[in-house]
């Protein structure tokens, strides 16, 4: 049994509101949404953060962004736009140690982020 929360959602051991799944990645709705649309896109294979990334993950990252853009279209976010966020480590507020891309949209957002 995995210790990692997102690995357990990916395997189906813990229920997640999954909106997309393929052999490489899974997307599910954030349990604590910060915008009307808040989806997390994660690699199925455990990867802690961008700090662990190397050449091998380059195609996977492209695929994750492509799926995020497709989900944004499905969620009707094309016209208003959306934000893709990756938090790495404590200063950025990463709270789950499994790489995830946040797709946020459906409201006007401020900049810079807090
Ligand atoms: P971050 O702070 O970047 O590590 O974002 C982690 C996100 O994970 C945070 O927005 C809340 C979300 N989250 C935490 N636990 C769960 C869970 O059990 N299920 C789902 N769907 N999301 C979770």
- Residue 34 in any domain: the answer is yes
Q: Which residues line ligand 1 (CB under 6 A)?
A: 5, 16, 28-32, 40, 87, 93-96
CATH number, domain of 33, equals: 3.30.428.10
What does each of the 114 residues of the chain score in pLDDT, given as a tens digit?
689 999 999 999 999 999 999 999 999 999 999 999 999 999 999 999 999 999 999 999 999 999 999 999 999 999 999 999 999 999 999 999 999 999 999 999 999 998
- Residue 77 in any domain: the answer is yes
Task: Kindly report the protein residue whose alpha carbon is nearest to atom 17 of ligand 1.
Answer: 31
| Centroid of ligand 1 to alpha carbon of 40 (angstroms) | 8
Which residue range is the domain that position 32 belongs to? 5-105
- Residue 67 in any domain: the answer is yes
Task: Kindly report the protein residue whose alpha carbon is nearest to atom 14 of ligand 1.
Answer: 31
- Residue 114 in any domain: the answer is no
102 is catalytic: no
Residue 114, pLDDT score: 87
Residue 1, pLDDT score: 67
pLDDT in tens, 84-113: 999 999 999 999 999 999 999 999 999 999
- Residue 71 in any domain: the answer is yes
Ligand 1 closest atom vs CA 95? 4
- Residue 96 in any domain: the answer is yes
Q: Which of 96, 99, 103, 114 to mutate to test the pocket of ligand 1 (most atoms within 8 A of CB)?
A: 96
- Residue 111 in any domain: the answer is no
- Residue 73 in any domain: the answer is yes
DSSP characters for the chain?
A: --S-HHHHHHHTSS---EEEE-SSEEEEE-SS-SSSEEEEEEESS----GGG--GGGHHHHHHHHHHHHHHHHHTT-TTT-EEEE---SGGGT--SSS--EEEEESS---SS--
- Do you know the residue count of the chain? 114
Q: What angle do CA 76, 85, 2 make, to 5 degrees?
A: 105
Domains identified in the chain, total number? 1
């Amino acid at each position: 049994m995995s210790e990692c929360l997102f690995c357990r959602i990916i395997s189906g051991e813990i229920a997640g509101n999954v909106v997309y799944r393929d052999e490489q990645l899974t997307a599910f709705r954030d349990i604590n949404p910060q915008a009307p649309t808040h989806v997390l896109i994660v690699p199925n294979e455990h990867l802690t953060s961008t700090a662990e990334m190397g050449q091998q993950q380059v195609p996977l990252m492209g695929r994750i962004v492509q799926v995020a853009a497709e989900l944004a279209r499905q969620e009707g976010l094309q016209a208003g736009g959306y934000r893709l966020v990756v938090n790495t480590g404590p200063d950025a507020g990463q709270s789950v140690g499994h790489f995830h891309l946040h797709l946020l949209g459906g409201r006007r957002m401020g900049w810079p982020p807090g």
